[in-house]
Amino acid sequence: MIEPGKLFQLEGGQKRRKLALTFGALERDILGIAEKGTEYTFTSLPRAEYIRQVAAVLLRDPKLSEEAGARLRTLLQTEPLDELRVCNYARNTLLELLGTFPAEWDLVIAPHADPTTEDGTVRARDFFPGVCVYAEDIRSPFNIGSIFRTAEAMGAEKVLISPHCIDPEQPRAIRSGMGCIETMGWDRVPLEQLPSDIPVFALETGGTPIEEFKFPERGICIIGSEELGVSPEALTRATYGTVTIPMKGLKASLNVGVAFGILMQKWVESLQ
Separation CA 179–CA 163 (nearest Å): 22
228 contacts: CB under 8 Å, gap ≥ 6: 137
What is the residue extent of each domain of the chain?
Answer: 4-98, 131-271
Judged against a pLDDT cut of 70, whether residue 121 lies above it is answered with: no
Superfamily of domain 131-271, CATH level 4: SPOUT methyltransferase, trefoil knot domain (3.40.1280.10)
If phi > 0 it is left, if psi is from -120 to 50 it is alpha, else beta; for residue 170 that is beta
Separation CA 163–CA 133 (nearest Å): 14
Judged against a pLDDT cut of 90, whether residue 101 lies above it is answered with: no
- In tens, the pLDDT along 194-245 reads 999 999 999 998 899 999 999 999 999 999 988 788 999 999 999 999 999 9
Which of 4-18, 43-57, 213-227 shows the lowest per-residue confidence on average (mean pLDDT)?
4-18
Q: In which band, very low, low, confident or very high, does the pLDDT at 102 lie, cut at 50, 70 and 90?
A: low
CB atoms within 10 A of CB 247: 12
Separation CA 195–CA 89 (nearest Å): 46
The pTM of the full predicted model, rounded to 2 decimals, is: 0.65
Phi, psi (rounded to 5 degrees) for 114: -60, 125
